[in-house]
Amino acid sequence: MGLIQQSIEVTGERGTVSASALYDTGASLSFLRRDIAERVGVPVRLARPMRFEMGRAGEFLEVNEQIALSFTVSGVELLESFLVADGLSEEAIIGARTMQKWGIKLDPEHESVTVDPKASRLKFVAFR
């Protein structure tokens, strides 16, 4: 399992904040702690709650909302739908699907994160 912690910029309709993100290849999806989500945007209710088993057997996390935000990795702005979680130990968790979708590569030896330039060819340009 790959684990690297790094600061990211998260941007939503309410503004931009810096958050500590854990890049976790053992997590399938990406999560954002509620206090961070509410500072940058407005979470949207899921059709039904989702329940995720945590790293320790028998521990579960229930999620009722998601939020679409942009976040910056190694200077590249990306778009993702984060699940909003109460009581998340990390400010943000970048999961394996997000990393695969955007070509995010982890280098545990140097504790660095890069984005494959091919994956970001169709990048968006934010309207300011």
Structural domains of the chain, ranges and CATH numbers in brackets: 3-115 (2.40.70.10)
Six-digit token pair at 51? 């329940």
Q: Give the pLDDT confidence score for residue 53 in this predicted structure.
A: 78
The model carries a pTM of 0.86
Q: Give the pLDDT confidence score for residue 73 in this predicted structure.
A: 87
Strand partners, 62: 51
Six-digit token pair at 75? 């200077």
3-state secondary structure of 111: coil
Residue 102 is classified by DSSP as: H
Strand partners, 19: 8
